[in-house]
Amino acid sequence: MIILVSETSILIDLERGGLLEAAFSCGLTMVVPDLLYERELAPENGALLRKLGLGVVSLTPEEVAVAQQLRNDRKALSLPDCFALSLATRADHALVTGDKILRNEATARLGNVYGLLWMLDQLEASGHVEKTRLYEGLARISSHPRSRLPHGEVRARLNGWAQD
């Protein structure tokens, strides 16, 4: 089983699309580093996320050192993002991100990095989420002014989910 290390934008998009509960109920295991949770999630909807099943993980001293060095080397990355990337280096862990800079760095370091569309594909494959719900959720997410999802991939999924 793969453990998904999420950064904040993925959780925001899932909430925006009304798919947050579905993501946790279809068998995906998601965790965040404790620093990211405390700084970015706890004040808003941290309690709900924990209730749904979000794990909060402390990094080892070595992983903290890696995150701090990464932050020194890559000023464009936030410290919470660096903590997420460091956590994703653990065995059976993978990073899921919607942040282009973080994705590029993680791809160079880890190889496999996932995004929101991949997660929605997993929701579909689980059979626990109706395609109409996925369609509506992705439509809301992609129409948001801050959405940076690739238009062609979004359109392909929306077309596929609309036909069923």
**Residue range 61-100, pLDDT digits in tens:** 999 999 999 999 999 999 999 999 999 999 999 999 999 9
112, pLDDT greater than 90: no
Cα 144 to Cα 19, 84, 102, 131, 140: the distances in Å are 15, 25, 21, 20, 6
pLDDT at 164: 56
pLDDT band at 46 (very low <50, low <70, confident <90, very high): very high
Q: Which of 132, 137, 159 is nearest to 23 (CA)?
A: 137
**Confidence (pLDDT) at 111:** 84
Classify residue 62 by burial, with Cβ atoms within 10 Å: 0-12, 13-18, 19+. exposed
pLDDT at residue 110 above 90? no
pLDDT band (50, 70, 90) for residue 134: very high
Neighbours of 140 (CB within 10 A): 15
pLDDT of residue 160: 92
SS3 for 111?
coil
Average pLDDT, the chain: 94
Q: What tokens were used for 35?
A: 């620093």
Which token pair is 76?
């464009």
pLDDT surpassing 80 at residue 45:
yes
Q: Does residue 163 register a pLDDT over 90?
A: no
Share of the chain above pLDDT 90, in %: 90
Q: Would you call 33 helix, strand, or coil by DSSP?
A: strand
Strand, helix or coil at 60? coil
* 54 phi, psi to nearest 5 deg: -65, 125
Q: Which residues contact 134 (CB under 8 A, 6 or more apart)?
A: 19, 120, 123, 124, 157, 161
- Residue 85: the pLDDT is 96
